Amino acid sequence: MALNSVDEAFVARLREVLPAAAFREVTPAYLEEPRGRWAGQAGVLVTPDCVEDVAACVRLAAEAKVPVVPYGGGTGLVGGQIAAEGPAPVLLSLERMRKVRGIWPEENVMEVEAGAILSDIHAAAEAEDRLFPLSIAAKGSARIGGMLATNAGGVNVLRYGNARDLCLGLEAVLPDGQVWHGLRRLRKDNMGYDLRDLLIGSEGTLGVITAAVLVLHPKPSGEGTALMAVPDPVAALKLLALAREHLAEGVSAFELMHRAGLEFLAETMPDVRLPFAEPPEWLVLIDIGLAKGLEPAGALEALFAEAFEGGLVSDGMVAQSEAQRAEFWEVRETIPEANRRIGSVSSHDISVPLGELPEFIARGNEAIAALGAFRVNCFGHVGDGNLHYNVFPPKGEQKEAFAGQRDEIKRAVHDLVHALGGSVSAEHGVGRLKVDDLERYGDPVKLSAMRAIKAALDPVGIMNPGAVLRGE
Amino acid sequence: MALNSVDEAFVARLREVLPAAAFREVTPAYLEEPRGRWAGQAGVLVTPDCVEDVAACVRLAAEAKVPVVPYGGGTGLVGGQIAAEGPAPVLLSLERMRKVRGIWPEENVMEVEAGAILSDIHAAAEAEDRLFPLSIAAKGSARIGGMLATNAGGVNVLRYGNARDLCLGLEAVLPDGQVWHGLRRLRKDNMGYDLRDLLIGSEGTLGVITAAVLVLHPKPSGEGTALMAVPDPVAALKLLALAREHLAEGVSAFELMHRAGLEFLAETMPDVRLPFAEPPEWLVLIDIGLAKGLEPAGALEALFAEAFEGGLVSDGMVAQSEAQRAEFWEVRETIPEANRRIGSVSSHDISVPLGELPEFIARGNEAIAALGAFRVNCFGHVGDGNLHYNVFPPKGEQKEAFAGQRDEIKRAVHDLVHALGGSVSAEHGVGRLKVDDLERYGDPVKLSAMRAIKAALDPVGIMNPGAVLRGE
């Protein structure tokens, strides 16, 4: 179905229906994405402040067969928020819908609008002595609607789940401009198909999320963080199993870092304080949150002692203060920025079955070594089987010199992931970056079901065309 | 689209393709359902032992426009497994596909076929020192495929989630007879739409689940169970909050029982040992599972002491042995059987936002009292906001005498649930029993999206016609 670019007549119709405040100038920031791969385009930028105006906008777009690209915080890493090609779309930003509509601490539930920034949601939960556990490095700009649309993951998935596990209900505008009122505060509701989970992770191709009911958790009574040096990824997995044996669900995060990441930090961000004078080859960050009466630092020391006894760890530090916990976390959370400063040739957000992780790392490194003297920085949410496996130019060289090898590198990593039963998009989504990958590695029967669902809900194909599924 | 009954020609075609062992006689058990509301019909009963034969059967049915009714353990309470009307279907039972295909204890993952019985899955997990936490009273006959198709709940949802939260991947035959190979052992996978959660809870109307990857959990190191008498539902909710403050995720189950249930037990099953000589009006069963080094009985006693101090509980017992834990649980788990023996006029599987539970119980009881001298047995998974609110005839009378009031009673309860933002099917599903309710209370935009999805994936309408969505 051929789509039309936004034109003056269309903008005039929008202006008849929406208030003047719902229009903003398209500044360059809206057309950029964090890795600078694409430049976007927009025929008009619309920023409604209520679901009715979102619905009106989508309805007009459907009538005029004009594409709609939903826009959250702009932090997505796969180009889902960027229309680089095709007819100029309506860029529909939820930035003015950022209210916390309600909070029910005794139910551990909160209702927020899609444009709420993650760190504001954290603060609102905190004010009621509750925890909203979804957390990613971009928490200061990511908006919850986009995080749900991409089923964001992050550092606490091990304990609390992905975005989809932290959402009870949605309000959304479907591609025909109708509003689905699905904001239920229910833990159990088996009345019909799971439209909520279908929209979550559909990256704006099946509708626009305008509000959500989120799951809060009681704040752990005491929290603690440790860094432990492990000889290899096998030991890291054994340490994880031991930690869960000791602490059950008390293990909130379990992150793996490679020496390369620490070296990148030292090279590009010397102000970040590194925990060991001599960086170990593999480092694990363990974060725990325990119930009343339990002492986190003591629990981490007991874990370390048993792990040391068993040869799983060679060195370690338990944070002795909140300031030190923040320091440990800063190391982990600034690695992505250090990576950006070094400049990767190719980045991969992959997951494999937990037991296959060591095999993946070993064979991945071999495959990369066969292609050149690249540096690999492999880090991430090892408790979820999710690694960011990023490939960098040799020291002293620039990524641009190796752009010609990017496809080859990506292919080698992704083929290996696929062979091990993994996913080539663990948490970032498909967006526009991985449409080819989805076609190559996705199950063909699932793909055909996805296309049928897309055609059924969005027959004109206006919602975020070119994302997830190839446009026609 | 008009469907055809199974006829001799169709059975002959099936017999050309499937082995003789895949055919069984349709005994009466296949056409009954636990509450005896409907009698089913079946043109032929097919019991394939592999996904290829399931696919072949569905393909032939699609060609011949013959309905297919998937059949698990036959324990569903909403008639999803019973075709009482319309053309005689293929009854497709998964009972011969019950293998555990693999178990990865270090990943906390298991792959099973859809016909595996829940208690066999429990045993297989136990053999590897793991826990598969999904648990319902019918665990000795319910099959995992049906439990996923209906997104079953049960007693451990509070801690471990519903069936959908315990499934990482599916293998399923879609309505055109193609096999979706989605058996991934991944905690994070954002490659495309969430087809898994769409099939889970679709009650066989979008395809047949043939196998699943399930999530296991480490077994808690120590478990404990207590019964505590609470003055009212408000106190029960406060006790729950206190328990979670003490024990965080350590609270595995939190079940509410009303005195009526204990009286029904005494009346119909005098062999079941009741815990209190004088049954309290409201009773809570708390089950906890703690990590290494923590002592469950002591933790429950500390909880009781603080709750007693605060006036939340008036009496209580902490199980002193595994045998006593089993006795406490027997009380809870035999209430449904006692209910059956008394015979309800109308049963309701409802959920409301947690904070609305006391309001629901108070106003529900008023509404029922206005309709007659009925007895109400209200019990269930209060930690999930999910109650089984069942209405019985006055003592000494039979349900049959009140059949004429059933619709009125159901309507009063369901209207109240809806007004409080609840669901009239919390965990049992829609099946054929609640198609009208879904139309009455469901969001119309969601319903129209559901119909569009159904038409897209099953254009001929062969999969479990009449369940969830009204047949044409």
CB contact under 8 A, A188 and B104: no
Question: CA nearest B384: which of B138, B136, B161?
Answer: B161
Choose the closest CB to A445 out of B151, B179, B190: B179
Interface contact B354-A179, CB threshold 8 A = no
Cβ of A437 within 8 Å of Cβ of B190? The answer is no
3-state helix, strand, coil in chain A (%, to 5): 40, 20, 40
Contacts of A288 in chain B (CB under 8 A): none
Average pLDDT value for residue range B271-298: 91
Closest approach of chain B CAs to the CA of A468, in angstroms?
A: 7
Contact B291 A354 (CB under 8 A): no
Reduced to 3 states (helix: H, G, I; strand: E, B; else coil), residue A377 is strand
CB atoms A292 and B218 under 8 Å:
no
First to last CA, chain A: 7
**Do residue A447 and residue B180 have CB atoms under 8 angstroms apart?**
no
Question: Do the beta carbons of residue A255 and residue A380 sit within 8 Å?
Answer: yes
According to DSSP, the residues that pair with B208 across neighbouring strands are B173
The ipTM of this complex is 0.97
**pLDDT confidence of residue B443:** 98
- How far does chain B reach from its first CA to its final CA, in angstroms? 7
Q: Do A449 and B200 touch (CB under 8 A)?
A: no
% of chain B exceeding 90 in pLDDT: 93
SS3 of chain B: the string is CCCCCCCHHHHHHHHHHCCHHHEECCCHHHHCCCCCCCCCCCCEEECCCCHHHHHHHHHHHHHHCCCEEEECCCCCCCCCCCCCCCCCCEEEECCCCCCEEEEEHHHCEEEEECCCEHHHHHHHHHHCCEECCCECCCCCCCEHHHHHHCCCCECCHHHHCCHHHHEEEEEEECCCCCEEEECCCCCCCCCCCCHHHHHCCCCCCCCEEEEEEEECEECCCEEEEEEEEECCHHHHHHHHHHHHHHHHHHEEEEEEEEHHHHHHHHHHCCCCCCCCCCCCCEEEEEEEEECCCCCHHHHHHHHHHHHHHCCCCCEEEECCCHHHHHHHHHHHHHHHHHHHHHCCCECCEEECCHHHHHHHHHHHHHHHHHHCCCEEEEEEEHHHCEEEEEEECCCCCCHHHHHHHHHHHHHHHHHHHHHCCCECCCCCCCCCCCHHHHHHHCCHHHHHHHHHHHHHHCCCCCECCCCCCCCC
| DSSP-derived 3-state class of residue A239 | helix
Of the candidates B455, B32, B430, the residue with the CA atom closest to the CA atom of residue A455: B455
Two tokens, residue B100: 């555990």
Rounded to the nearest 10 degrees, what angle do helices A233-247 and A357-371 cross at? Answer: 160
Cβ-based contacts of A206 with chain B (< 8 Å): 193
Angle (nearest 5°) at CA A276 between A273 and A278: 120
For the cut 80, the answer to whether the pLDDT of residue B1 exceeds it is no
CB contact under 8 A, A457 and B452: yes
Burial profile A429-465: b = 16 or more Cβ within 10 angstroms, e = fewer: bbbbbbbebbeebbbebbbebbebbbebbbebbbbbb
- Taking CB atoms and an 8 Å cutoff, what residues of chain A touch B294? 294
Residue A87: C-alpha distances to residues A11, A59, A203, A460 (Å):
14, 18, 19, 14
Å between A302 CA and nearest CA of chain B: 11
SS (H, E, C) A390-418: EEECCCCCCHHHHHHHHHHHHHHHHHHHH
* Interface-testing mutation among B111, B180, B190, with chain A (most A C-beta atoms within 10 A): B190
From CA B56, how far away is CA A340, in angstroms rounded? 52
Cβ-defined contact of B425 to A250 (cutoff 8 Å): no
Find the residue in A nearest to B238 (Cα).
A106
Measured CA angle at B372 (ends B368, B374), to 5 deg? 70
Across B299-303, average pLDDT: 96
Cα(B17)–Cα(A180) distance, integer angstroms: 44
Cα–Cα distance, A437 to A117 (Å, whole number): 30
Which residue of B lies nearest to A129 if distances are taken between CA atoms?
Answer: B245
Q: Please write the tens of the pLDDT for every residue from A423-440.
A: 999 999 999 999 999 999
pLDDT tens, residue by residue, B315-343: 999 999 999 999 999 999 999 999 999 99
Å from B353 to nearest chain A CA? Answer: 5
Cβ–Cβ gap A189/B425 under 8 Å: yes
Query: Which residues of B are less than 8 Å from A452 in CB distance?
Result: 456-457
Task: Please answer yes or no on whether A426 and B384 come within 8 Å at the CB atom.
Answer: no
Residue range A259-297, pLDDT digits in tens: 999 999 999 999 988 888 889 999 999 999 998 878 999
Mutate to test the interface with B, among A78, A179, A191, A234 (most CBs of B within 10 A): A191
Whether residue B294 is predicted with pLDDT greater than 90 in this model: the reply is: no
Q: How far is A385 from A236, CA to CA, in rounded Å?
A: 12
- Distance (Å) from the C-alpha of residue B79 to the closest C-alpha of chain A? 14
The shortest CB-CB distance from B192 to any of A241, A289, A446 is to A446
Residue A65 and residue A62: Cα distance in Å, rounded?
A: 5
Closest by alpha carbon to B296, among B244, B243, B222?
B222
Question: Cβ separation of A447 and B192 shorter than 8 Å?
Answer: yes
Residue among B59, B101, B157, B187 with most chain A CBs within 10 A, to mutate: B187
Which pLDDT score, from 0 to 100, does residue A36 have?
A: 84
Which of chain A's residues have a Cβ under 8 Å away from the Cβ of B290?
248
Q: Is the pLDDT of residue B429 over 90?
A: yes
Interval A437-459: pLDDT, tens: 999 999 999 999 999 999 999 99
Helix (H) or strand (E) holding A124: helix A118-127
Q: How many CA atoms lie within 13 A of B123 on its CB side?
A: 9
- Using DSSP, state whether A23 is helix, strand or coil: strand
- Whether B185 sits inside 8 A of A353 (CB atoms) is yes
Which tokens go with B197? 């959660």
In a mutagenesis test of the A interface, which of B130, B193, B200 is the best target, namely the one with the most A β-carbons within 10 Å? B193
Report which of residues A471 and B215 the model is more confident about: B215
Confidence of residue B137 (pLDDT cuts 50, 70, 90): confident
Q: How far is B438 from chain A (nearest CA, A)?
A: 7
Distance between CA A97 and CA B179 in Å, rounded? 42
**% of chain A exceeding 70 in pLDDT:** 100
Q: Which tokens in the block code for residue A190?
A: 């088996």
**DSSP code, position A72:** S
Amino acid code (one letter) for B378: C
CB contacts of B437 in chain A (<8 Å) are: 191
Alpha carbon of A122: minimum distance to chain B alpha carbons (Å): 19
B387: its two tokens: 């109650």
Smallest CA–CA distance, residue B258 to chain A, in Å, is 21
Domains of chain A by start residue, with CATH: 100-218 (3.30.465.10), 220-342 (3.30.70.2190), 343-427 (3.30.70.2740)
pLDDT of residue A472: 62
pLDDT at A183: 98
Nearest Cα to Cα of residue B150 among B101, B78, B95: B78
Percent of chain B with pLDDT over 70: 100
Q: How many CB pairs under 8 A join A and B?
A: 280
Residues whose CB is less than 8 angstroms from the CB of residue B54 and which lie 6 or more positions away in sequence, other chains included: B48, B92, B94, B97, B173, B208, B210
- Average confidence (pLDDT) per 10 residues, chain A, 472 residues: 93 98 96 89 97 98 98 96 95 98 96 98 97 94 98 94 98 98 97 98 98 96 96 96 91 96 95 89 96 89 97 97 96 93 96 97 97 96 94 95 96 98 96 97 98 98 97 70
Nearest CB to A189 within list B188, B241, B426? B426
Q: Across the interface, do B457 and A453 touch by the CB < 8 Å criterion?
A: yes
pLDDT band at B472 (very low <50, low <70, confident <90, very high): low
Nearest by CB to residue B165, choosing from A165, A186, A190, is: A165
Tell me the C-alpha distance between B391 and B416, whole Å: 15
Element (H, E) at A9: helix A8-17
**How many whole angstroms from its chain centre is CA B447?**
22
Query: For residue A173, what is the enclosing H or E element?
Result: strand A167-173
Q: B66: how many CB neighbours lie within 10 A of its CB?
A: 27
Distance from the Cα of A454 to chain B's closest Cα (Å) equals 9
Residue B201 region, left (φ>0) first, then alpha (ψ -120 to 50), else beta?
left
Mean pLDDT for chain B? 96
Beta-carbon contacts of A404 under 8 Å, excluding residues fewer than 6 positions away, are: none
Query: Could A453 and B450 be called an inter-chain contact, meaning their C-beta atoms sit closer than 8 Å?
Result: no
Decide if B197 and A202 are in contact by the 8 Å CB cutoff.
no
Q: Which residues of chain A have a CB within 8 Å of the CB of B351?
A: 186-189
- Residues on chain A touching B354 (C-beta within 8 angstroms): 104, 106-109, 185, 187
| A279 to chain B, closest Cα gap in Å | 29
Which positions in chain B touch A289 (Cβ < 8 Å)?
A: 248
Q: Do B291 and A195 touch (CB under 8 A)?
A: no
**pLDDT band at B92; cut points 50, 70, 90:** very high
Nearest to A203, CA basis, from A465, A471, A472: A465
B244–A151 CB contact, under 8 Å:
no
pLDDT confidence bin for B275, thresholds 50/70/90: confident
